[in-house]
Structure 1
Amino acid sequence: MKISGFGILGLATGAMGIGWATTALPANFSEWSTAINAEDFSGNGAPNSPAGDGCPILDPYTNDLYIASTRPGGLGGLDIWIAPWNGSGWDEPYNPGAPVNSEANDYCPTPARGNRLFFVSRREEPNGDIYVIKRLPTGFGTPERLPDGINSDAQEWSPSVFEDDDGNEVLYFSSTRSGGQDIYESVNYGAPSAVPSLNTEYSDARPNVSKDGREIVFDTDRPGGLGGGDIWSSTRPSTNSPWTAPTPIAQVNSPAGESRAALSWDGTMLVFGSGRPGVDGPTDIFVATRSKANRGPKTIEF
């Protein structure tokens, strides 16, 4: 299915704020805390499992945790699951079923403003394409594939949307269309372009941009990290400015692989996937927090 007249994309502008830095601190935020396993939040159900759990991201309205998981009970392979926020942690995830999930692999969920859910699926393209679906009071609508140009015959990963200073909706994602994973941007769903200040000859993947477009996190295996893929960050003073030189986030990285960092709507919680020792399965969800300046320690309230 392809988008006709941009369909769901025209329902709302703006998107979830996802992705924040540590080493290059943005204004009004403290440094990140040391990351902990998501299971260690009080009141939690079972956000992690003996299966692979990753691609975490938080709903901008509810703080529900969206993940991709191979746990039993899905429609096939990798599915998207939703863990409701209960005020102090997340309840056990549930599978929303079709049409969000399919018999193919479905992953990289990105809930956004306008009750939209962007995600990646291999239901039509073996390497995965980006889709968007509207969340309705009674469930989900019909998924629509983003236009050709954004999608390609290569791998597309981790859509992230925000509104820039000029009122445009900007989509960031990564793709292997030029060989390895590189980060791309598309303004109002037009032809995408690579982001040279973020890309290297190494893998630069799964970007997530803050709601104001001034901070980004992504995972990369470039030199300077602790091992495997690490989470790096960059900031900029406006959406019309270039990104600063990216730096690794020391508090969340480990010698194991970390991937797909994403931030809560208020910018004080960072979730990501990691395969470090002690996880329940191949990978688990981890969490770091930070406080806004002059507001004291972070209190998990939504």
Structure 2
Amino acid sequence: MRKTIIFSTVLLWVGVTGSVEGGFIFGTPTNLGPVVNTVGSDGSPDISADGLTLYFDSLRAAGLGSWDIWMTSRETTDGEWSPPTLLPAPVNGGYSDSGPSISADGLSLYFASDRPGGYGSPDIYVAKRETADDPWGIPENLGRTVNSSSYDNHPSISSDGLMLFFGSARGGGYDLYVTQRATTDSEWTVPVSLGMTTNTIYNELSPDISSDGLSVFFDRRGASGDRDLWVAARDPRSDGPTAAMNLGTPINTWYEDTDPSISADGCTLYFGSTRPGGAGGQDLWQVSVAPVRVMPDLNGDGVVNLLDLAEIASHWLKDDPSTDIAPAPYGDGIVDYKDLAGLSEYWLTYPGQ
């Protein structure tokens, strides 16, 4: 049965002028302000799962002389950010320590470093702690299986802790790779390239995997010649991404726009940019995000009703792409209660409603 998906470009915010790009609706980017940003370069933001802590790297004068990892926090997701603090040793060690990625439970911090003892420059490390109140332990190199003799940087750990995306120059150019493991106690597998649908002759860097595992944000050279932000949807059934889409304006500008980090709820995108309006150098910015809504008209008759419900019922507990509609955009390989819930959101909905 042919599945017809009707895209509705209705803005999800009242009174906000947004831009629809790449399946998302964006608000207006705002600078995180002088409390967080400095006249130096501030980049690679990574927001915690609860949205209350933002890790980033910085070349600010108050650091140790190279890229260091900093953090800022707030009491609520609507609160003001506190003055950033430098993560103490052994995370920062006077070397180039950058590209932080915090695990969903807040107990593992992945980052890149050119400290001695690695296999290339830089390598990917992880520091761990027992509780959120404990200090970070000694960072561990992820080993020769993950790291190469070349450039490995900007790790992004998935919400379940089983996939690690990163940028690497091991293949000659800067491309995106992913390594996986069966459990959080298992060894990482040999990294594989995200493939030609995502990696190109240009440099792909700074991947960030969404909390649902279905979108990979990253940066790549854009039409302006500087770096732009892009997104590639990931099909969990094939484990591969689709062709990447440029996020467009107002996210991307004629300046450098880099280092994306999408919040766990998918409502805010943090990134670095050299655009005007900041404190100087590269600053940290944020923008509101919402997905373009879809109407699951499974039989193509222009309305979601009992006939569409019958389609789901006839394929119940089966792997049927035509009715496996949730979670968007590809489903999860089985027709079940998630698809029923997705259908119910549009019950008796017609195009344009």
TM-score range, shorter chain: 0.7 to 0.9
Paired with 1:210 and 1:146, the residues of 2 have a C-alpha distance of 22
Q: 1:68: how far off?
A: 0.4
1:75 maps onto 2:64 in alignment = yes
Q: 2:141 aligns with which of 145, 151, 163?
A: 145
Q: 1:292: how far off?
A: 6.6
Q: 1:237: how far off?
A: 4.2
Compared with structure 1, are the counterparts of its residues 63 and 226 closer, same or farther at alpha carbon in structure 2 (3 Å cutoff)? farther
What's the counterpart of residue 234 of structure 2? Answer: 236
The CA deviation string for residues 162-203 of structure 1, in whole angstroms up to 9 with x for no partner, is 26xxx8811111101112210111111110111112100110
Report the aligned-residue RMSD.
2.2
Paired with 1:193 and 1:293, the residues of 2 have a C-alpha distance of 30
The CA deviation string for residues 191-232 of structure 1, in whole angstroms up to 9 with x for no partner, is 0111112100110111111122100110001xx534400001
Paired with 2:239 and 2:92, the residues of 1 have a C-alpha distance of 37
| TM-score w.r.t. length of structure 2 | 0.69
After the TM superposition, list the runs of 4 or more consecutive aligned residues in structure 1 that deviate by more than 6 angstroms.
Answer: none
The CA deviation string for residues 75-134 of structure 1, in whole angstroms up to 9 with x for no partner, is 331100001123323111001210110110100000112411101111124621101111
Q: Secondary structure at the match of 2:57?
A: strand
Query: Does the 8 A contact of 1:214 with 1:239 survive in 2?
Result: no
What's the counterpart of residue 36 of structure 2? Answer: 47
Compared with structure 1, are the counterparts of its residues 239 and 162 closer, same or farther at alpha carbon in structure 2 (3 Å cutoff)? farther
The CA deviation string for residues 29-69 of structure 1, in whole angstroms up to 9 with x for no partner, is x5111211111xxxxx6110111111111011353111101
| TM-score w.r.t. length of structure 1 | 0.80
1:129 maps onto 2:123 in alignment = yes
Matched AA of 1:228? D
Which deviates the most, 268-277 or 127-136? 127-136
Superposed counterparts of 1:261-272, under 5 Å: 261-272=260-271
1:85 maps onto 2:74 in alignment = yes
Name which structure has the greater RCO, CA cutoff 8 Å, separation 6+. Answer: 1
What's the counterpart of residue 214 of structure 1? Answer: 214
Paired with 1:153 and 1:236, the residues of 2 have a C-alpha distance of 28
Q: Secondary structure at the match of 1:277?
A: coil
Compared with structure 1, are the counterparts of its residues 146 and 241 closer, same or farther at alpha carbon in structure 2 (3 Å cutoff)? closer
Compared with structure 1, are the counterparts of its residues 175 and 217 closer, same or farther at alpha carbon in structure 2 (3 Å cutoff)? same
Query: Does the 8 A contact of 1:174 with 1:207 survive in 2?
Result: yes
Greater Rg by CA: 2
Q: 1:265: how far off?
A: 1.4
Compared with structure 1, are the counterparts of its residues 168 and 49 closer, same or farther at alpha carbon in structure 2 (3 Å cutoff)? closer
Superposed counterparts of 1:117-266, under 5 Å: 117-124=109-116, 125=118, 127-135=121-129, 136=131, 137-162=133-158, 169-188=162-181, 189-196=188-195, 197-221=197-221, 225-238=223-236, 240-250=238-248, 251-266=250-265
* Unaligned stretches of 5+ residues in structure 2: 1-19, 182-187, 294-353
**Sequence identity, in percent?**
31
Q: 1:236: how far off?
A: 3.3
What's the counterpart of residue 297 of structure 1? Answer: none
Matched AA of 1:148? R
1:66 maps onto 2:55 in alignment = yes
Query: Does the 8 A contact of 1:24 with 1:235 survive in 2?
Result: no
Paired with 1:260 and 1:241, the residues of 2 have a C-alpha distance of 23
Compared with structure 1, are the counterparts of its residues 177 and 121 closer, same or farther at alpha carbon in structure 2 (3 Å cutoff)? same
The CA deviation string for residues 267-287 of structure 1, in whole angstroms up to 9 with x for no partner, is 111000011123212100010
Paired with 1:213 and 1:239, the residues of 2 have a C-alpha distance of 12
Query: Does the 8 A contact of 1:35 with 1:287 survive in 2?
Result: yes
Compared with structure 1, are the counterparts of its residues 263 and 130 closer, same or farther at alpha carbon in structure 2 (3 Å cutoff)? same
* Unaligned stretches of 5+ residues in structure 1: 1-21, 40-44, 295-302
Aligned length: 260
